[in-house]
Structure 1
């Protein structure tokens, strides 16, 4: 399947790995694919995100802000007097940007500081070299769906537009939350993208 990917689409796949590293996530999700597409605004998929004001930086912030808790969880915490945004802001003031994301990697569970955490961090070997970040199931499914989207349009290549359509077709909660945090809905992004593509054959 990978041989069908255009150069831009291949850069998105490798870029998604980098997005996960930047966010210090231990796996690549569908949301990282969208963030990587946003970094290719000259491509068809990236242009659709750009038209809606979605940049890689905005994606990263949305991913950080939505975290692993959904709106119901956040509302339940608010009912208990816990403002998740305020907790995140305080942690980042005290420990630096992305402090809670680093903690999700395991530092908080082991009690290690940032200095000692570098020994076990999943993206670096003992010598500091980058290691491979694995694709989560939903990211693999999104890439498989991108092939289906291309075939449905009778196109024999997979471009960034197909990756976006593949991610949106799955409707994974992490990407829906990210897009809502960015002020748009999956349906709006899909409609905008399709409006700028040639009609399916």
Structure 2
């Protein structure tokens, strides 16, 4: 399925993992997919929410209120250290992902002990996996031939029960109206 993702959508899925890590969460949920979509500020679908007053910073505050943040991030923020600004500064000098921990190869397992499928290897919640699956369905419904950031956002909205949709609704936006506006913005 990931071969259908545009470069921006792939970047957003990776960003969702980074959002989770920066907030000190042990999972990737629909709220992290929403934050990652909002990080793609040039994307027409993200612009729909941004122009409605729900930018990444506002959404991040809402996620923090709903789930809390990791202790280190909260302690640094209390003394005026903006971790996102630090990450951007480091990545501007050393390249994207410079602060990410190096990936460890999974041990090769055989038989009964080998995990199967994406769900076994993924920190994604069931709702986030459903939202990604729904993004594929949205792409097919719209006859797009690819999965873009807008499709990910539509998947989060269509899933409707995760924290991503709750953040949008709690901001005073109607999910159905946002869906229609995103579809129009995507053409």
Query: Is residue 189 of structure 1 aligned with residue 178 of structure 2?
Result: yes
Q: Quickly say closer, same or farther: Cα 1:5–1:173, change in 2 above 3 A.
A: closer
User: Deviation at 1:41?
Assistant: 1.3
Regions of 4+ moved over 4 Å: 94-98, 130-133
User: Deviation at 1:67?
Assistant: 2.8
Q: C-alpha deviations, 1:18-39, integer Å up to 9, x for none?
A: 1101111000001110111101
Residue of structure 1 in register with 2:10 after alignment: 10
Whether contact under 8 Å (1:59, 1:178) holds in the other structure is yes
CA distance in 2, matches of 1:129, 1:17: 12
Residue of structure 2 in register with 1:161 after alignment: 150
Residue of structure 2 in register with 1:83 after alignment: none
CA distance in 2, matches of 1:66, 1:129: 26
CA distance in 2, matches of 1:185, 1:96: 35
For structure 2, list consecutive stretches of 5 or more residues without a partner in the other structure: 79-99, 105-121
Whether contact under 8 Å (1:143, 1:166) holds in the other structure is yes
Residue of structure 2 in register with 1:33 after alignment: 33
User: Deviation at 1:197?
Assistant: 2.9
Q: Which moved more, 1:172-181 or 1:28-37?
A: 172-181
Whether contact under 8 Å (1:58, 1:182) holds in the other structure is no
User: Deviation at 1:131?
Assistant: 6.3
CA distance in 1, matches of 2:165, 2:150: 17
Q: Quickly say closer, same or farther: Cα 1:183–1:130, change in 2 above 3 A.
A: farther
For structure 1, list consecutive stretches of 5 or more residues without a partner in the other structure: 69-87, 99-127
Whether contact under 8 Å (2:31, 2:162) holds in the other structure is no
Query: Is residue 171 of structure 1 aligned with residue 160 of structure 2?
Result: yes
RMSD (CA atoms): 2.7
Whether contact under 8 Å (1:6, 1:157) holds in the other structure is yes
Matched residues, number: 147
Bigger Rg, structure 1 or 2: 1
User: Deviation at 1:161?
Assistant: 0.8
Q: C-alpha deviations, 1:83-141, integer Å up to 9, x for none?
A: xxxxx9xx9xx95659xxxxxxxxxxxxxxxxxxxxxxxxxxxxx94669711111111
CA distance in 2, matches of 1:165, 1:12: 14
